Amino acid sequence: MKRRTLSAAAAFTATAALLLTACGSGDDNGKTADKIAGADQGTEKPTKSAEPSGAPAEDRPDGVDVSLPKDMNLVFDWEKPKNENEAAAMDDAANYLRAIYRGVDKRTTEDAALIAYSTGDGLKYAKTQIGARLEGDWTATGTRRHYQATTRSASNGNSVEVAFCVDSSKFYSKEVKTGKVLKGTPSITDFDYFKIIMVKLPTGEGLWQASKVYVEAKAAKCQ
Protein backbone atom coordinates (compact mmCIF):
# COMPACT_ATOMS: atom_id res chain seq x y z
CA MET A 1 0.00 0.00 0.00
CA LYS A 2 1.34 3.43 -0.96
CA ARG A 3 2.11 5.57 2.08
CA ARG A 4 3.03 9.26 2.02
CA THR A 5 5.58 10.84 4.34
CA LEU A 6 3.89 12.79 7.14
CA SER A 7 5.59 15.28 9.43
CA ALA A 8 4.52 15.46 13.07
CA ALA A 9 3.47 19.09 12.66
CA ALA A 10 1.27 18.31 9.67
CA ALA A 11 -0.40 15.44 11.49
CA PHE A 12 -1.18 17.59 14.50
CA THR A 13 -2.55 20.48 12.44
CA ALA A 14 -4.79 18.26 10.33
CA THR A 15 -6.35 16.54 13.32
CA ALA A 16 -6.57 19.13 16.07
CA ALA A 17 -10.36 19.44 15.70
CA LEU A 18 -11.12 15.73 16.10
CA LEU A 19 -12.01 15.39 19.78
CA LEU A 20 -13.45 12.04 20.89
CA THR A 21 -13.70 9.91 24.06
CA ALA A 22 -11.33 7.60 25.98
CA CYS A 23 -10.17 6.92 29.53
CA GLY A 24 -7.49 4.95 31.35
CA SER A 25 -5.39 4.39 34.45
CA GLY A 26 -2.48 2.23 35.57
CA ASP A 27 -2.09 -0.19 38.46
CA ASP A 28 0.72 -0.29 41.03
CA ASN A 29 3.10 -2.04 38.66
CA GLY A 30 2.43 0.23 35.72
CA LYS A 31 0.16 -2.20 33.83
CA THR A 32 -2.94 -0.86 32.14
CA ALA A 33 -6.19 -1.28 34.10
CA ASP A 34 -8.60 0.67 31.95
CA LYS A 35 -12.38 0.81 31.90
CA ILE A 36 -14.52 1.06 28.78
CA ALA A 37 -15.48 4.66 28.12
CA GLY A 38 -19.19 5.22 27.58
CA ALA A 39 -19.96 5.95 23.95
CA ASP A 40 -22.08 4.60 21.12
CA GLN A 41 -20.33 1.55 19.67
CA GLY A 42 -23.03 0.75 17.12
CA THR A 43 -25.08 -2.44 16.98
CA GLU A 44 -23.56 -4.19 13.99
CA LYS A 45 -21.51 -7.21 15.01
CA PRO A 46 -17.89 -6.96 13.81
CA THR A 47 -16.87 -9.43 11.13
CA LYS A 48 -14.27 -11.87 12.40
CA SER A 49 -10.99 -11.70 10.50
CA ALA A 50 -9.04 -14.73 9.37
CA GLU A 51 -7.38 -16.96 11.92
CA PRO A 52 -4.17 -15.33 13.21
CA SER A 53 -0.76 -16.39 11.99
CA GLY A 54 2.72 -15.32 13.02
CA ALA A 55 3.35 -11.71 14.00
CA PRO A 56 3.92 -9.45 10.97
CA ALA A 57 7.03 -7.35 10.49
CA GLU A 58 6.82 -3.78 11.79
CA ASP A 59 5.17 -1.36 9.39
CA ARG A 60 7.33 1.74 9.12
CA PRO A 61 5.95 4.39 6.76
CA ASP A 62 8.51 6.89 5.47
CA GLY A 63 9.21 9.60 7.98
CA VAL A 64 7.67 7.89 11.04
CA ASP A 65 9.88 5.75 13.28
CA VAL A 66 7.98 3.18 15.36
CA SER A 67 10.99 1.06 16.28
CA LEU A 68 11.27 -0.40 19.79
CA PRO A 69 14.14 -1.86 21.82
CA LYS A 70 14.74 -5.60 21.45
CA ASP A 71 13.47 -6.42 24.94
CA MET A 72 10.12 -4.67 24.31
CA ASN A 73 8.32 -7.08 21.99
CA LEU A 74 4.81 -6.29 20.73
CA VAL A 75 3.47 -9.32 18.86
CA PHE A 76 0.48 -8.88 16.53
CA ASP A 77 -0.79 -12.39 16.01
CA TRP A 78 -3.40 -11.61 13.38
CA GLU A 79 -3.97 -11.53 9.62
CA LYS A 80 -5.05 -8.48 7.68
CA PRO A 81 -8.64 -8.34 6.42
CA LYS A 82 -9.23 -8.27 2.66
CA ASN A 83 -10.83 -4.83 2.78
CA GLU A 84 -8.09 -2.31 1.94
CA ASN A 85 -9.23 0.37 4.38
CA GLU A 86 -9.64 -2.12 7.22
CA ALA A 87 -6.20 -3.59 6.52
CA ALA A 88 -4.61 -0.12 6.60
CA ALA A 89 -6.49 0.79 9.79
CA MET A 90 -5.33 -2.46 11.43
CA ASP A 91 -1.72 -1.74 10.46
CA ASP A 92 -1.89 1.71 11.98
CA ALA A 93 -3.67 0.49 15.12
CA ALA A 94 -0.57 -1.66 15.64
CA ASN A 95 1.64 1.36 14.92
CA TYR A 96 -0.35 3.37 17.47
CA LEU A 97 0.43 0.80 20.15
CA ARG A 98 4.08 0.74 19.11
CA ALA A 99 4.10 4.54 19.35
CA ILE A 100 2.83 4.37 22.94
CA TYR A 101 5.61 2.03 24.01
CA ARG A 102 8.15 3.98 22.00
CA GLY A 103 7.12 6.95 24.14
CA VAL A 104 7.60 4.84 27.26
CA ASP A 105 11.07 3.83 26.07
CA LYS A 106 12.06 7.36 25.03
CA ARG A 107 10.52 8.83 28.23
CA THR A 108 8.35 11.34 26.36
CA THR A 109 4.73 12.02 25.45
CA GLU A 110 5.76 14.14 22.47
CA ASP A 111 7.31 11.57 20.13
CA ALA A 112 6.53 12.15 16.43
CA ALA A 113 5.09 8.63 16.03
CA LEU A 114 2.49 9.29 18.73
CA ILE A 115 1.30 12.46 17.00
CA ALA A 116 1.28 10.72 13.61
CA TYR A 117 -0.85 7.76 14.72
CA SER A 118 -3.30 9.32 17.19
CA THR A 119 -5.69 12.23 17.52
CA GLY A 120 -8.14 13.73 20.01
CA ASP A 121 -8.76 11.41 22.92
CA GLY A 122 -6.75 8.66 21.25
CA LEU A 123 -3.78 10.95 21.83
CA LYS A 124 -4.97 11.78 25.36
CA TYR A 125 -5.25 8.07 26.18
CA ALA A 126 -1.74 7.41 24.90
CA LYS A 127 -0.28 10.28 26.89
CA THR A 128 -2.05 9.03 30.02
CA GLN A 129 -0.55 5.57 29.59
CA ILE A 130 2.94 6.93 28.97
CA GLY A 131 2.59 9.47 31.77
CA ALA A 132 1.72 6.76 34.32
CA ARG A 133 4.95 4.95 33.54
CA LEU A 134 6.98 8.14 33.58
CA GLU A 135 5.53 9.06 36.97
CA GLY A 136 6.29 5.59 38.34
CA ASP A 137 9.75 5.68 36.75
CA TRP A 138 8.99 2.44 34.88
CA THR A 139 9.69 1.24 31.40
CA ALA A 140 8.49 -2.11 30.00
CA THR A 141 10.07 -5.40 28.99
CA GLY A 142 8.91 -8.76 27.68
CA THR A 143 6.26 -9.80 25.14
CA ARG A 144 2.79 -8.30 24.79
CA ARG A 145 0.59 -10.39 22.49
CA HIS A 146 -2.35 -9.04 20.46
CA TYR A 147 -4.73 -11.57 18.90
CA GLN A 148 -8.32 -12.51 17.93
CA ALA A 149 -8.62 -9.31 15.92
CA THR A 150 -11.79 -8.19 14.18
CA THR A 151 -12.54 -5.12 12.08
CA ARG A 152 -15.66 -3.29 10.95
CA SER A 153 -16.06 -0.16 8.86
CA ALA A 154 -18.39 2.80 9.29
CA SER A 155 -20.80 3.37 6.44
CA ASN A 156 -18.95 6.51 5.34
CA GLY A 157 -15.68 4.58 4.98
CA ASN A 158 -13.76 7.12 7.04
CA SER A 159 -13.52 5.15 10.30
CA VAL A 160 -12.78 1.55 11.22
CA GLU A 161 -13.14 -0.24 14.54
CA VAL A 162 -10.23 -2.55 15.27
CA ALA A 163 -10.98 -4.90 18.19
CA PHE A 164 -8.62 -7.45 19.70
CA CYS A 165 -7.46 -9.28 22.81
CA VAL A 166 -4.25 -8.50 24.67
CA ASP A 167 -2.20 -10.93 26.75
CA SER A 168 0.28 -9.12 29.02
CA SER A 169 1.17 -12.14 31.15
CA LYS A 170 4.76 -12.03 29.84
CA PHE A 171 5.01 -8.25 29.61
CA TYR A 172 6.38 -6.55 32.70
CA SER A 173 7.17 -3.16 34.15
CA LYS A 174 10.84 -2.48 34.79
CA GLU A 175 12.31 0.12 37.10
CA VAL A 176 14.34 2.59 35.06
CA LYS A 177 16.90 3.35 37.77
CA THR A 178 17.57 -0.17 39.03
CA GLY A 179 16.61 -2.32 36.04
CA LYS A 180 14.50 -4.49 38.36
CA VAL A 181 11.73 -6.34 36.52
CA LEU A 182 8.40 -6.28 38.40
CA LYS A 183 6.66 -9.63 37.97
CA GLY A 184 3.29 -10.34 39.56
CA THR A 185 1.32 -13.56 39.91
CA PRO A 186 -0.34 -14.51 36.58
CA SER A 187 -4.10 -13.85 36.68
CA ILE A 188 -7.06 -12.61 34.69
CA THR A 189 -5.73 -9.07 35.14
CA ASP A 190 -3.20 -9.94 32.42
CA PHE A 191 -5.97 -10.10 29.80
CA ASP A 192 -7.72 -7.10 28.23
CA TYR A 193 -10.07 -6.56 25.30
CA PHE A 194 -9.46 -3.45 23.22
CA LYS A 195 -11.56 -1.55 20.71
CA ILE A 196 -9.73 1.21 18.88
CA ILE A 197 -11.59 3.53 16.52
CA MET A 198 -9.27 4.46 13.67
CA VAL A 199 -10.05 7.49 11.48
CA LYS A 200 -8.59 8.25 8.08
CA LEU A 201 -6.33 11.30 8.00
CA PRO A 202 -7.72 13.52 5.20
CA THR A 203 -4.31 14.91 4.18
CA GLY A 204 -2.26 11.76 4.60
CA GLU A 205 -2.66 9.09 1.94
CA GLY A 206 -3.32 5.69 3.51
CA LEU A 207 -2.66 6.85 7.07
CA TRP A 208 -5.12 6.19 9.92
CA GLN A 209 -5.15 7.57 13.46
CA ALA A 210 -6.52 6.23 16.73
CA SER A 211 -9.33 8.53 17.85
CA LYS A 212 -11.07 6.48 20.56
CA VAL A 213 -9.81 3.71 22.82
CA TYR A 214 -12.08 1.38 24.82
CA VAL A 215 -10.55 -1.20 27.14
CA GLU A 216 -12.35 -4.01 28.93
CA ALA A 217 -10.06 -5.08 31.76
CA LYS A 218 -9.97 -8.60 33.16
CA ALA A 219 -11.43 -9.96 29.92
CA ALA A 220 -12.25 -13.61 30.50
CA LYS A 221 -13.09 -14.05 26.80
CA CYS A 222 -9.43 -13.44 25.99
CA GLN A 223 -8.07 -16.27 28.15
Question: Per-residue pLDDT for 136 more than 50?
Answer: yes
Task: Provide the pLDDT confidence category of residue 204 given band limits of 50, 70 and 90.
Answer: low
Q: Shortest CA distance to 27 belongs to which of 182, 205, 202?
A: 182
The pTM assigned to this predicted structure is: 0.75
Distance CA 81, CA 160 (A): 12
Average pLDDT over residues 52-56: 33
pLDDT tens digits, one per residue of 61-95: 446 899 999 999 999 999 999 999 999 999 999 99
Alpha helices in 1-111 (DSSP H): 8-15, 84-106
pLDDT of residue 206: 82
Task: Provide the pLDDT confidence category of residue 156 given band limits of 50, 70 and 90.
Answer: confident
Distance CA 74, CA 143 (A): 6
Share of the chain above pLDDT 90, in %: 66
